[in-house]
Structure 1
Amino acid sequence: MANTPQARKRIRRNDRRAEINGARKSRIRGFVKKVESAIEGGDKEVAADALKAAQPELARGVARGVMHKNTAARKMSRLSKRVAAL
């Protein structure tokens, strides 16, 4: 249990940041799923539009510290390769 005011504040801040970061990760996953569902549907134009929308979200996740830059780069690369293969 936190005994100092600083430790109590740190717990409050950590809880709030975890909530915010969870929402950001969820938002990114939603954008990626839109691309994947468009790929499954076989519609290249819709998939390309969804990919264009997902790329800035992934980059924003990296900038905000929610995900590692190599993870985002890997996801973008794999998605774009799958869209190009349609």
Structure 2
Amino acid sequence: MKKFTRKELARYNGKDGAPAYVACEGEVYDVSKSVLWRKGEHQATHNAGQDLTDSIKEAPHGPDLLKKFPLVGILEES
């Protein structure tokens, strides 16, 4: 399984043809095919290429929703 640093993850922001990856609880998911992540943004408050562990706690859904997307790697602790 690929290991991502935060700097590497930031490259997968869903912009300029890059895939949209997000991290949560140490796992990195590919949300590129979700219509809710168009152009790397979700609900105009979240951006791809970031660790959403803290912000997902305030979302109307929990982190289990991300498990529906392909797991592409592990986020390394910095």
TM-score range, shorter chain: under 0.3
Q: Which has the larger radius of gyration?
A: 1
Which protein is richer in strand relative to its size?
A: 2
Normalised by the length of structure 2, the TM-score is 0.26
Normalised by the length of structure 1, the TM-score is 0.24
